[in-house]
Structure 1
Amino acid sequence: MTASISLNTTAESEAAAPSATDGADLWFTLPPGFLEFDLNEDSEARMMKMADATDLLFATATPEQKFSLVVSGEYFLQAMVSAGAEHVSSCLLRMSDGELSQCILCVLVERPMAGPENQDRQGTAKRTAVQWREMFPDAEVGLVMLPYGPSALCIRDQDLLVPGAFFGLDDPVPATVRQAQFCVPLKTGPGSALFVFTTQDVEHWTEYLNVLSGIMKSVSVDEPVEENTRPTDSPRAEGTAKQA
């Protein structure tokens, strides 16, 4: 399925999840297994959908655990929207060893208040990489060339404390998530699109890199042509992906 964002609008506008006729500025392809959230949807309706999904994915969880998952999920979405997210999607994939795995993809647009109409995209990517090296000395930071153009890349692990209510426990549970960030300077003017990919499933990171590579290679100013085939060695979608 294709996803798109309009770079000159805020996440609260209708163009945050535009259709093919809305004049989107940036397109990318989400592989099967990804579900895009409608960031403009009423919070109550969105939470009802999350509750239905939670019933399917976590059938053995207690009502209190499901409630915590739904509330925390909606809180996360609202935090992403407040941070300027133009796109948020989640995925459920079955990996090559048969294990189910989940991840989250967010896309934010960073626009400077003022600046030249045409930016030095290579220079912007390099400066971002330098900043990331200073901020995250233990991270893997570098530059990559996408079909869309140059991008800074940062991969790092983060230690978190997950509320114990998710697991029926009183105390928080330590967890490690791995995050990949691509800062893609825009062709349409000053600013960058920040793709943030996060998963707790570090064991399947190599397979996730293949998934993420496909998404980033599809970034374009033109609407991608969807294909019905996918490599046989790729992780499989659990169920059918839908477009929000």
Structure 2
Amino acid sequence: MSGSAADIPNFWFELPPGFMEFDLEEEPEARIVRMTDAAEALFAAVPPEQKFSLVVSGEYILQMMIAAGAEHVSSCLLRMPDDRLSQGTLCVIVERPEAGPAVQDRRGSAQRTAVQWRELYPDAEVGLVMLPYGISTLCIRDLELEIPGVIFGLKESVPAVVRQVQVCVPLKAGPGSVLLVFVTEDREHWAEYLTVLTGIMKSISAEEPGAEDSVGAERPDTGGMEQGA
């Protein structure tokens, strides 16, 4: 992450092509205009109503993530194999306990998170995964949302079902963890999104991207997009 090492952990990940990071201080109206312009430029042949619906519902999800304390939010606009426009939103939340041991039991932390998630979300897929960074907890579930109709120019709320992935990564640098949350309405192309998310999770590192290059190490081509969180 960028910032002082005194209060921000050394935790980095890389975004694949297609993701756009948001300024969390930006006004929602300005964000919607930027996303609409991007959708129009990238997907001119897609019906306007589809682009508008994706941008507006994506903004609602983004605002939910910011309200939850996200320190990074990015969105992707992807063209799927059937030539359909698809959108997803990624956020990163750093969970910092007020007190704790200098070195945490990362496996124990991941196991406790898995137990909590299984109790909270009995219908979800919950398990432990071993990433290059270390052991983490994964949760996949579907959520039913009621998006306020006013943002679509309607009186009634608009129901939506989204698929959410949560990955809780216990930190190496001390107590606490990083929670990555990805949400999309496009459950039809879930396999494609899993491929994208797998790449992001495998890129998680305690070292700033590019540091290895200075000593001649080889790194995979990620399209030139890198992001600290």
Taking structure 1 as the reference length, what is the TM-score of the superposition?
Answer: 0.74
* SS of residue paired to 1:85: coil
Where has structure 1 moved over 6 Å in runs of 4 or more? Answer: 240-244
Cα 1:8–1:136 shift into 2, 3 Å: farther
In structure 1, give the amino acid aligned to 2:119: E
Mark the runs of 5 or more structure 2 residues left unpaired by the alignment: 211-218
Note the C-alpha offset of 1:49: 3.1
Q: Which position in structure 1 is the counterpart of 2:16?
A: 31
**Are positions 1:152 and 2:137 aligned together?**
yes
Partners of 1:35 and 1:242 within 8 A in 2: no
Cα 1:243–1:148 shift into 2, 3 Å: closer
User: Which stretch shows the higher mean deviation, 43-52 or 111-120?
Assistant: 43-52
Match of 1:191 among 176, 180, 186: 176
Q: Which position in structure 2 is the counterpart of 1:132?
A: 117
Distance 1:5 1:79 in 2: 23
Residues matched between the structures, number: 214
Distance 2:100 2:222 in 1: 42
**Are positions 1:60 and 2:48 aligned together?**
yes
Distance 1:163 1:50 in 2: 19
Taking structure 2 as the reference length, what is the TM-score of the superposition?
Answer: 0.78
Q: Which position in structure 1 is the counterpart of 2:213?
A: none
Note the C-alpha offset of 1:132: 0.2
Distance 1:5 1:81 in 2: 18
Partners of 1:35 and 1:243 within 8 A in 2: no
Partners of 1:5 and 1:26 within 8 A in 2: no
Match of 1:204 among 189, 192, 204: 189
Distance 2:149 2:204 in 1: 38
Q: Which position in structure 2 is the counterpart of 1:69?
A: 56
Match of 1:107 among 92, 113, 121: 92
> What is the RMSD computed on CA atoms of the aligned residues?
3.3
In structure 2, give the amino acid aligned to 1:123: G
Cα 1:228–1:193 shift into 2, 3 Å: same
Q: Which position in structure 2 is the counterpart of 1:237?
A: none
Distance 2:152 2:69 in 1: 31
Note the C-alpha offset of 1:98: 1.8
Partners of 1:5 and 1:86 within 8 A in 2: no
Note the C-alpha offset of 1:96: 2.0
Partners of 2:13 and 2:204 within 8 A in 1: yes
Distance 2:169 2:136 in 1: 5
Identity %: 59
Partners of 2:13 and 2:226 within 8 A in 1: no
Note the C-alpha offset of 1:165: 4.4
In structure 2, give the amino acid aligned to 1:218: S
Distance 1:38 1:210 in 2: 26
